[in-house]
Structure 1
Amino acid sequence: MDEFAQRKTQQKNKDKIIVYPVPMNLDEIKNDLTITTKISSKSLKQRIINKAYKLQEKGQVLEAEKYYQYFVEKGFSDASVFSNYAIILKTLGKLDKAKLYLRKAIEIKHDFANAHNNLGTVLHDLKELEQAELAFRKAISIRPRFADAHNNLANILKDAGKLQEAELSARKAIELKPDSSIAHSSLARILILINKLDEAEMYLKKAIKLKPKPDYYYSLGQLLEKSDKKEDALYQYKNAQNLDPNNLSYQLEGKLRFSAIPFNQEQINKERKQYKKQISQIDQYINPVFTGKIFSTSSFYLAYHNASDDLEILKLLGNVLRNSKGLINTKFNQEKGIIESQRRNSIRLGICSEYLKNHSVCMFFGNIIKQIASSDVEVIIFRTPYSEVDSLSQSIDSLASEVIMMPESIQEASDLILNQSIDILFYPDIGMSNYTYLLSLSRLALVQFTTLGHPMTSGLPEIDYFISCDNYETKYSNEFYSERLIKLNRIPVNYSKPINKGNTFNKSKLNISEKSFLIGIPHAPFKFHPDYDKILDKILENIPNSFLFFADGPKKLQTDKLKERWAKTTKLVLNRTIFYPRVSFGDFLEIVKMLDIIIDPFYFGMGNTFYQAMAFNTPVVTMPTNHMKSRHAFAGYKQMDIKGAPIANSPDEYISICKKLAFDKSYRENIETQINEKANKYLFNDETIFEEYIQFLKDSLSAAQNNTLLPENWKPKSNFN
């Protein structure tokens, strides 16, 4: 920061400070600073500042923080010191405290442009976007040619969705500082969001010309990949790798790739084989170093391939990452954790997720988290730096004992979690977020567990348990998990029944006859396995008056790729599918209500949409396999005790059930009536399932305190009637 650099220059000719071992407490700090028994307040103040700045310059942030704390304890006051203290606090994830000291700095010096700018960055991290915008604008009003503030304003406007204003601010930053590669990169990110991909590519190339940083090459690779220029993208990833060959992020992004929309099973098999080969090469020939940049492993797509070696691949991947320098936190002390947990009267439960917002993960687990937080369990929410704020996230945060916004640095975030002395750490959705996946590679609590936010194993020995239920699993299930499998008595979610607020929708809006049989396939494009294509064709062939209803997703390129595949692999699907644009949530619910049936895709079934279908009595046809990821609708029907449920045991039976629902009106009405009668009682608003979670928390912690796991046959007692 500018004032920090200025202050360092000013200190060069001051009295030299003797270098002492890092102090561990206030008494040692006093001894370190005082040196003699008598020292003036002014001299002591300067010594504290000098020591704090020197430690900060060396990157010893925890040690520097102690000196800033002592500065405050002595009652000293200085705008620049408070501003620099805020930098330390921000680095440590103590954003509220950082905000406090930046405001103190501004109180002392109202026209402190840097402090206003720094306050904006803290408010940005806190997701207080409106206040952050005001802070950046204030910095600019004080110093109109403050290029960095213009660039920061551009980023906040981007995150607030004010893309046109963001573009103008980024262009202003470049005008004021044309040699700023950062400003060019910021403008490129904004242009990507407004789909000016060619211009974004141009500005990223300008950023590279100004400063050929590997992360700019990496960003350019991502952009080119978004534009479906895969070969060019791989070339840019290779440029990043050449500049920083041991960088783990660049190696994995450039080498571990899966197609989101594969053409056939042969392509899937080939890509998985190549994936395993690349993991082995990284492990054998490269000494990977994690430099802090979050990366993707593409492992998310493994779950959709209908393959038997997911666990093997995830274990290989985890081993490579675990052997990489700088990624794994090894500071957890089991014995210390046991002692601290035994001293407490209540369990400290940490919940780490990127999706506790208006998202299916929150729909599944938000109510449970609220109920646990209202019990005698102390809940600490760890939000990733990429988490979004909405009414659902705020409702959860309001009940938590503490909410911590984590820094972008995985190393700092893991230290932050360790410093909170968590007993049990819950990752609801490992595999959905690159950030939480990287965190989950380290042991940060006595007990660590995950569940079906992304319904597959983590493959990590650091994750002790996977929460599931009886109807999700089969006698073969244990072979699919690296974790100890915990089967609750009922589906381990508490889903609030969706309510349609008066929206109306009918088939006439789709330009089809009211007598048409409308089959919903409102799934993400990557859920359509190639094996499913011919099934869709046969369903349409067997039900002549039928149409498929496809709801467009946010990634148009994936939909286009799916259409391209269907054009080659099917005869009827493209001509008899309604590709409907994205609509509001209320309209989507009305569409679900209007559909005659919804069909569950093979191998990776419905989750969120199944509950929405049940809310409006829309039958769902499903075909479960031995894998939990395909068994959600099956488990729902079993829990509701639906007689004659549309559950198939084979593709032929799946097609036959669809046909029966289309032509046997009494059968369809019987299923609809049963759903209407039983969903409210047995599926929605499960207000007691959280009690099974609490039993698990208590028993798993007790087992950990004895350095063991729960037995394989552990079951909670059920209070459900």
Structure 2
Amino acid sequence: MTDKFKQAQCLHKAGRFAEAQDLYVQVVNDNPYDAEALYLLGTLLAQGGRFNKAEVFLRRAVQESPRNSVYHCNLGVTLQNLSQLDRAKGCFQRALKLDRENVDAYYNLAKLYKQLNHIDEALLAYEQAVSLDPNRFDALINMANILVDQGRLRDAITCFDRAAKVNPSSDRPLINLGNTYRRMGLAEKAINAYDAALRVRHNDGLRIKQALTLPTVYQSLDHIDYCRTSLKTQVGELLKDELNIGDPSLETSTTNFFLAYQNRNNRDLQQSIAQLHLLSCPTLSWTAPHCEGQPVRNPGKVRVGFLSTYFRRHSIGRMMIGFITQLPKDEFEIVVITTRGKGDLISRAIEAAADDLLYLPQSFFDAQKTIGELKLDLLFFADIGMDVRTYFLAFARMAPVQCVTWGHPDTTGIPNVDYFVSGEQIEPQDGVEHYSEKLYQLPAPPTYYPFPEIPDGLKVRADFAISQTRTFYLCPQSAVKFHPDIDQLFAGVLRNDDDADIYVVEGAVGHWTEQLRERWRVTIPDVAARIFVLPRQTPEDFLALQSAADVILDTPHFSGGNTSYEAFAMAKPIVTLDSAFMRGRVTSGLYRLMEITELTASSLEEYVAIAVRLGKERDYNLALSRRIGERRDILYGRQDVVDGFAEFAHSVAHKAGAK
């Protein structure tokens, strides 16, 4: 090894890349076949992002030393950065043939497989890397993230725990650990993990996220009250601090989604949380140039933008497709704002109806400005509270008029959201008191819901291993809707109908259902064994389950929406409870449209009585099913709702332009 080569290596290690490169070039010129010099020159160029040049020297190094596993591996990394993925994979595989203990090769092959969406192969390669080097921090983190995506949350927690022990000076595994516990609905454990992360590094975004962390399943009404009191206290304390957040969509990365399931008026609390976000990141309230001063309305058609990341085969897509496709094109210029996806019938129909289509940029603040550049008269959020970016985008003034509807049926508390568009049949008399926005009520629930297509040859009970001889009560709602009050409803039904069972469907996260089962073993131990959990279903099998049920049980305080429209299309009776807030009055509102009163209870006791009568009296059940079948058409394809929205849009757009 020459002195010049040694000096180049020292400069390289010291980060003096330009000087090191000059010396490496001299060494290579002196000896064009020096594999190590070629390799180090190529590595240095790759470190500087000059991958095309790096490839040249790394290939020469491999040619001079074809049995060097490390050289093949680093060539693979360079090719991966050049998006030559098949060639990169070949390099990693050759590196492993030469050295089965090359941890870097396993690690980089795993990253490549993940990029190719070969998830099982990626996980196996990470496992092999970690088995060779149990302290490989980045492999543990990446492996845990894959396990989270696969729903293997307990295994992910084990990996994040290991990563935290390997590198206690990093808050990354602790934040991810908290996020995983949060996804499982284990709020207390999530908060403790966030505490540990905050002891490692100050993080204002994480402080807010910690304060907003709520359980998915509440154990009792007292538990709800305790969580709300704690949330109010923490938000109040944070409002006193001087917080500084650059991009809340990344640093806080949460909405107030679970507040809606507590059966409380959230207006004041939502406003306090919105104030906290605005104080910690004032740029959230950015105003588009065309909205400054006196807004000028576009001449001619009203330019209305519809925004959601769920314009696809999703309840939001189903609820919104008619609004977007049925608006009169001679009066409205329709702009659809969404994210790029694989595409299905609903997303394609919505996008085809658009005069302009915007796929949201990845950068949050770019998204703000890009929407502002559309120069909309009205921006309509199909949902606020489900998607993090959508939630924080609503803080900006991107159109003179901004409104939201029932996609996530709770007030936002956000100052720049002007209207909440709802329906007369689903709002209580004091509904205006529940919203920070101005409440606008259409003549029916705010959807042009097409009559659902019910496939032929649906599965029957036997296909789900459900008894043919026992009464089949089905509660098809998401686990997050199972308020503690439902326990006594289930118990009342089962105690009064000995020949019956209740079936529910597993939650989006299996751990939520586990927590429900644990709660039932405590609150209703005598009948808990007669509540059965079915696995997640395909959309077609979900319809089949509803079709096969004797009685469908609605969740109190947060009723079915899409599921109720589907069940009524099959003329299935649903037992529901008229609740205090719109989100608990959708099914009962649909009954009001059909002028059917017998299946809406005004108390928990009446709910049980209605359900048991439906279950035990076959003729009564059939009579109500026939009546639903005769009257259900009024629920679907309601042009008066679209016309009502058009009138609303014209009115508010003209008022904004006339200010």
TM-score class, shorter-chain normalisation, is 0.7 to 0.9
- Matched residue type, 1:456: D
Q: Distance in 2 between matches of 1:494 and 1:601?
A: 24
SS in 2 for 1:482: coil
Q: Give the counterpart letter for 1:667 in structure 2.
A: Y
What's 1:682 paired with? 634
Pick aligned residue for 2:649 from 697, 701, 715: 697
**What per-residue deviation string (whole Å, max 9, x for no partner) do you get for residues 303-347 of structure 1?**
111223x111101100000111365142434555866533x4333
- Note closer, same or farther for the CA distance 1:172–1:390 as it changes in structure 2 (3 Å cut): farther
Q: Does 1:662 align with 2:592?
A: no
Report if aligned partners of 1:603, 1:630 keep a CA contact under 8 Å in 2.
yes
Is the partner of 1:590 in helix, strand or coil? helix
Which residues of structure 2 form unaligned runs of 5+?
A: 1-14, 23-47, 53-74, 96-103
Mapped pair 1:567 → 2:521: yes
For the Cα contact (< 8 Å) 2:247–2:364, is it kept in 1? no
1:593 to 547, 568, 581: 547
User: Measured at CA, do residues 538 and 237 of structure 1 come closer, stay the same or move farther in structure 2, by a change above 3 Å?
Assistant: same
Is residue 552 of structure 1 aligned with residue 506 of structure 2? Answer: yes
Instruction: Quote the residue 1:83 is aligned against.
Output: none
Whether the aligned pair in 2 keeps the contact of 1:150 and 1:172 (CA below 8 Å) is: no
Counterpart selection for 2:281 from 317, 325, 330: 325
Residue of structure 1 in register with 2:176 after alignment: 219
Structure 1 residue 416 and structure 2 residue 370: aligned? yes
Q: Give 1:627-638 correspondences, 5 Å limit.
A: 627-638=581-592
C-alpha contact (below 8 Å) 2:181/2:187 kept by paired residues: yes
Distance 1:331 1:178, change over 3 A: farther
Answer yes or no: is the 8 Å Cα contact 1:154–1:170 preserved in 2. no
| Equivalent residues in 2 for 1:313-352, closer than 5 Å | 313-325=269-281, 327-333=283-289, 341-342=297-298, 344-352=299-307
Structure 1 residue matching 2:337: 3-state secondary structure:
strand
CA 628–223 in structure 1, closer or farther in 2 if over 3 Å, else same? closer
Q: Is the 8 A contact 1:215 1:240 kept in 2?
A: yes
Match of 1:190 in 2: 146
Mapped to 2, the partners of 1:177 and 1:348 lie a distance apart of: 58
Letter in structure 2 aligned against 1:629 = R
Say whether residues 1:311 and 2:264 are aligned partners: no
Measure how far apart 1:447 and its partner are. Answer: 0.8
Match of 1:368 in 2: 323
Instruction: Please point out which of 600, 606, 613 is paired with 2:560.
Output: 606
- 8 A contact 2:372–2:398 mirrored in 1: yes
Aligned-partner SS, 2:327: helix
Aligned to 1:268: 224
Task: Tell which has more relative contact order, 1 or 2 (C-alpha 8 A, sep 6+).
Answer: 2
Cα pair 2:473 2:550 within 8 Å, conserved: yes
Is the partner of 2:336 in helix, strand or coil?
strand
**So what's the TM-score if we normalise by structure 2?**
0.79
Q: How far apart, in 1, do the equivalents of 2:160 and 2:273 lie?
A: 34
Return closer, same or farther for 1:701/1:172 CA change in 2, 3 Å cut-off. farther
1:103-122 aligned at under 5 Å gives the runs: 117=81
Q: 1:285/1:273 Cα in 2 relative to 1: closer, same or farther (>3 Å)?
A: same
Give the deviation of 1:205 after TM superposition. Answer: 4.6
Q: CA separation in 1, counterparts of 2:325 and 2:51? A: 40
Equivalence for 1:236: 193
Report how far residue 350 of structure 1 moved: 2.1
Structure 1 length as normaliser, TM-score? 0.73
1:503 aligns with 2:481: no
Aligned to 1:450: 404
Is the contact made by 2:278 and 2:285 (CA closer than 8 Å) also made in structure 1? no
State the one-letter code of the partner of 2:539.
F
Q: 1:201 to 1:279 in 2, by over 3 A?
A: same
Residue by residue over 1:236-295, the C-alpha shift from the partner in whole angstroms, topping out at 9 and shown as x without a partner, is 3124334542x3321122222211111100111011000001101111134232345153
Is the 8 Å Cα contact of residues 358 and 392 (structure 1) preserved in structure 2?
A: yes
| Preserved CA contact (<8 Å) 1:113 1:140 | no
Q: CA shift at 1:692, angstroms?
A: 2.3
**1:706 counterpart letter in structure 2:** A
Retained in 2: the 8 A contact 1:139–1:149? no
Q: Report the CA distance between 1:180 and its aligned residue.
A: 8.6
Question: Of 527, 530, 533, which aligns to 1:576?
Answer: 530
Q: Does 1:355 align with 2:310?
A: yes
> Residue type of the partner of 1:257?
T
Aligned-pair CA distance for 1:704: 1.0
Inter-CA distance 138–361: structure 2 relative to 1 (3 Å threshold): farther
Cα distance in structure 1, aligned partners of 2:536 and 2:174:
33
* Match in the other structure for 1:202: 159
Which structure 1 residue ranges, 5 or more long, are not aligned?
A: 1-5, 14-56, 58-77, 81-110, 121-134, 708-721
**2:209 touches 2:254 (CA, 8 Å); kept in 1?**
yes
Cα distance change, pair 412–590 in 1 and its aligned pair in 2 (3 A):
same
The answer to whether the aligner puts 1:253 opposite 2:209 as a matched pair is yes
* CA 1:279–1:290: 2 relative to 1, 3 Å: farther
1:299 offset after TM fit, Å? 2.0
The count of aligned residue pairs is 583
Structure 1 residue 520, shift from structure 2 partner = 1.1
| Conserved 8 A contact 1:623-1:648 | yes
Contact 2:185-2:215 within 8 A present in 1 as well? no
**Partner Cα separation in structure 1 for residue 171 and residue 566 of structure 2:** 45
CA distance 1:318–1:543, change in 2 (3 Å): same
- Indicate if the aligned counterparts of 1:381 and 1:402 stay in contact, CA closer than 8 A: yes
Q: 2:552 aligns to what SS in structure 1?
A: strand
Question: Offset of 1:654 from its aligned partner?
Answer: 1.5
User: Partners in 1 of 2:347 and 2:128 — Cα distance?
Assistant: 34
SS at match of 1:550: strand
Q: 8 Å contact 2:205–2:251 — kept in the other structure?
A: yes
Report the 3-state secondary structure (helix = DSSP H, G, I; strand = E; otherwise coil) of the residue aligned with 1:341. coil
Q: CA deviation at 1:527?
A: 1.1
Cα pair distance change 1:345/1:185, threshold 3 Å: farther
Contact 1:180–1:210 at 8 Å: present in 2 too? no
Whether the 8 Å contact between 1:329 and 1:411 is mirrored in structure 2 is no
Q: Which of these two proteins has the greater Rg computed from alpha carbons?
A: 2
| Matches of 1:114 and 1:350, distance apart in 2 | 43
Q: 1:583 to 1:186 in 2, by over 3 A?
A: same
Which deviates the most, 511-520 or 167-176? 167-176
One-letter code aligned to 1:438 = F
Distance change (3 Å), C-alpha of 1:176 and 1:264: closer
1:662: Cα distance to partner? 2.6
Taking the TM superposition and a 5 Å limit, the aligned residue runs for 1:370-449 are 370-372=325-327, 374=329, 376-384=331-339, 389-449=343-403
3-state secondary structure, aligned to 2:281: coil
Query: What residue is the counterpart of 1:98 in the other structure?
Result: none
Letter of the 1:312 counterpart: D
- CA distances 1:394-449 after superposition (whole Å, capped 9, x unpaired): 33223323333323432222122122222221111111112211111121111111
For the residues of structure 2 that align with 1:214 and 1:339, how far apart are their CA atoms?
46
- Return the letter of the residue paired with 2:553: I
| 582-591 vs 182-191, greater mean Cα deviation | 182-191
Q: Distance in 1 between matches of 2:574 and 2:496?
A: 18
Aligned partner of residue 259 in structure 2, secondary structure: helix
Which AA in structure 1 matches 2:257?
A: F
Distance in 1 of aligned mates of 2:527 and 2:478: 16
Pick closer, same or farther for the CA change 1:693–1:213 going to 2, 3 Å: farther
Shift of 1:112: 13
Instruction: Report if aligned partners of 2:360, 2:367 keep a CA contact under 8 Å in 1.
Output: yes
Say yes or no: does 1:649 pair with 2:602.
yes
Q: Assess if the C-alpha contact under 8 Å between 1:370 and 1:399 holds in 2.
A: yes
Report the Cα offset of residue 514 of structure 1: 2.9
Q: State the Cα deviation string for residues 83-105 of structure 1 (Å, max 9, x = none).
A: xxxxxxxxxxxxxxxxxxxxxxx
